Structure 1
Amino acid sequence: MIEFISRLAADMIAMPEIMLENVFLADPLSAIIMIFGSIFIGVASLAFGYAVVGSILQSLTGGGLPNIGSGSSR
């Protein structure tokens, strides 16, 4: 088990270098796909985080975050 955890930690440290050298710099299309994938994941994570913070505030205080859209703020 200790060998597995140490190998996992070493691979996590080496992964950014592998992704940069073998995937990102392989060809321009790979770089574009990685950039847009990162943007997509980042926006989805921010939207999910906004929903989680709003629901926590709603349950704790009875008020939440303001609506982003043009709907009513009830």
Structure 2
Amino acid sequence: MIKKPQTSKDAAEQVHRKYRDRYHESPHNVTPAYVYFGRDKAILREREKIKKLKIRQRRWQNQKQAE
């Protein structure tokens, strides 16, 4: 929940936090900071590994249930 800022400094901090910390839809849901520091590709590779692992696990469980 976003609170109403009391001062302009608080408002600036809220805007900064919003754009620095939240995930963005356009570049594969990584924060701008990750892109700036070059961590975006490593994060996307790790997500892809996890995705493939989960798919294999689900496939194995489904085959086991079908037997």
Q: TM-score, normalised by structure 1?
A: 0.47
Which letter does structure 2 place at the counterpart of 1:26? Answer: Y
Query: Which whole-Å CA distance do the structure 1 matches of 2:52 and 2:36 have between them?
Result: 26
Runs of 4+ in 1 over 6 A off after TM superposition: none
Query: Which whole-Å CA distance do the structure 2 matches of 1:48 and 1:32 have between them?
Result: 24
The match for 1:67 is none
Deviation per CA, 1:28-66: give whole Å up to 9, x if none: 2x01211110110011011001011111111xxxxxxxx
Q: Number of residue pairs matched?
A: 45
Gaps of 5+ in 2: 2-20
The match for 2:57 is 48
Identity score, percent: 2
| Residues 1-74 of structure 1: pairs in structure 2 closer than 5 A | 15-17=22-24, 19-23=30-34, 25-28=35-38, 30-58=39-67
Structure in which a larger fraction of residues adopt helix: 1
CA gap 1:15/1:54 in 2 versus in 1, 3 angstroms = farther
Gaps of 5+ in 1: 1-5, 7-13, 59-74
Q: Bigger relative contact order, structure 1 or 2, given CA contacts below 8 A and separation 6+?
A: 2
Query: Which whole-Å CA distance do the structure 2 matches of 1:41 and 1:33 have between them?
Result: 12
Q: CA RMSD in A?
A: 2.6
